[in-house]
Amino acid sequence: MIQKQKGTKDIFFEEMEIWEEIEKNIKEICNTYNIKQIRTPIFEATELFARGVGNETDVVSKEMYTFLDKGGRSITLRPELTAGVVRAYIENGFSSRTSPVKLWYTGSMYRYEKMQKGRYREFSQFGVEMFGSSSVLTDVEVISIACKLFEKLGVLDKLTLKINSIGCKECRAKYVKALKEYLADKIDGMCEDCKIRYNKNPMRIIDCKQEKCQDVKNGLPTILDYLCDDCKKYFESLKFMLDNLNIKYEIDSSIVRGLDYYNKTVFEFISEDLNLAVGGGGRYDGLVETLGGTSTPAVGFGLGMDRIVLLLQEYKKQETQKPDIYLLTTTNEQFIYATTMLANELRNSGKIVETNISDRSFNAQLKYANKIGAKYLIVIGDEELKSKKVQLKNMDTGKVIQIDLNVKEILNNI
Ligand SMILES: [Zn+2]
Ligand SMILES: [Zn+2]
């Protein structure tokens, strides 16, 4: 038997309804913030991620699905979506539009990763990117959109918003120097990855999850002590605005994000209960220029949809939708009447309707209606068709009432 690939999954029934609920809320929320949807290709030139995400990041150096196509091009299945959105922004001349340009997306991404809870090799993200504003108010709006989604889904209070500033090039240079000085006599005892990071990108050491690096990490200098005046002021405004908009947060200077393109504001949403980072984002003022566009400030986030699904499964335990009504018929004539006169219209008004499409016997249909949890049942026999009166049975209580045989009467009573 052929099985699904490691790191992929099939989604159906109950879980699919959770996905649909999340997607519905995303659309509604983005619409109310006047953010427009964008879809970009699933594969892009490998160079886009090498340049955009950073060659030294784990994502690019270890986790990408990269291959040569039949034309000899180096192709990569997108491991994240910001780089692709920025490419589209530049290529389609969006910089000449009224700013800020506000975009949202959902879609599948691919990383060759170790499997963990909520972590797949094919995974899905919802993200928002805003281009053309360097104001901290845009950072605040972006954060508030993510909060709004969690609030609507009923899990905001289950999450911790952690914020940090990783400053600009100048503050980062000072910090990296201090970091290297601090680590100089400790790096030999750290993991192999950190030894490489020490020379190539020391801030990545803050992210290290290896057991042997944790002690050293606890004493690290914090970036917040090295911010320049401008970055310090920016971070203060961010906190001031979040406070005043009643958005709860914690400051965590260990949040540096795994990707190279961020500056100033970075943030993550963490589920402490599930020990799961649900997503995060930050400001990336240099990325548009890095990828060949004109210098454009930008800020955004990406949230793991698979992880939001896990949250909802954990906290909401929602029941899958049940049919509203079962229309019981035993002859073709009855079935035709039930379909054309009742089911079609009931479905048009949003009701979930099941009919006898498996050609079951009367008793088998009663059993079936019970099994699928139908809320109401109507028997449409020859007698009922003649008298235009039917019995509407409430399947939960067993109560039966007599009503006229028409859609309006049925809708009024279920
Ligand atoms: Zn700075
Ligand atoms: Zn390490």
- pTM score of the predicted model: 0.85
**For ion ligand 1, residues whose CB falls within 5 Å:** 167-168, 171, 228, 231
* Contacts (Cβ under 8 Å, ≥6 apart) of 412: none
* Contacts (Cβ under 8 Å, ≥6 apart) of 353: 323, 324, 325, 326, 327, 342, 343, 346, 347
Quote the distance between the C-alpha of residue 208 and its chain's center: 24
Nearest alpha-carbon partner for 130 in 274, 298, 277, 8: 298
**For ion ligand 2, residues whose CB falls within 5 Å:** 190-191, 194, 208, 210, 213
Per-residue pLDDT of the chain (414 residues; tens, 9 = 90+): 999 999 999 999 889 999 999 999 999 999 999 999 999 999 999 999 999 888 878 888 899 999 999 999 999 999 999 999 999 999 999 999 999 999 999 999 999 998 888 889 999 999 999 999 999 999 999 999 999 999 999 999 999 999 999 999 899 899 999 999 999 999 998 999 899 889 888 888 888 888 888 888 888 899 999 999 999 999 999 999 999 999 999 999 988 876 668 899 999 999 999 889 999 999 999 999 999 999 999 999 999 999 999 999 998 766 678 999 999 999 999 999 999 999 999 999 999 999 999 999 999 999 999 999 999 999 999 999 999 999 999 999 999 999 999 999 999 999
User: Which residue has 């530049």 as its token pair?
Assistant: 90
Q: What is the CATH architecture of 13-163+246-315?
A: 2-Layer Sandwich (3.30)
Q: Which amino acid is at 317?
A: K
* Extents of the domains making up the chain: 13-163+246-315, 169-227, 325-413
Spacing, Cα 200 to ligand 1 middle (Å): 21
Nearest alpha-carbon partner for 310 in 278, 279, 343: 278
Model pLDDT, residue 316:
79
Spacing, Cα 209 to ligand 1 middle (Å): 27
Spelled out in words, what is the top-level CATH class assigned to the domain 325-413?
alpha beta
Exposed / middle / buried, residue 99 (Cβ in 10 Å: 0-12, 13-18, 19+)? middle
Q: At what angle do helices 13-32 and 305-315 cross, to 10 degrees?
A: 110
Spacing, Cα 225 to ligand 1 middle (Å): 11
Tell me the backbone φ, ψ of residue 240, rounded to 5 degrees. Answer: -60, -45
Model pLDDT, residue 319:
62
For residues 336 and 356, give the distance between their C-alpha atoms in angstroms, rounded to a whole number. 11
Spacing, Cα 219 to ligand 1 middle (Å): 23
Contact 282, 264 (CB under 8 A): yes
* Contacts (Cβ under 8 Å, ≥6 apart) of 232: none
Spacing, Cα 219 to ligand 2 middle (Å): 14
Ligand number with the minimum distance to the CA of 208: 2
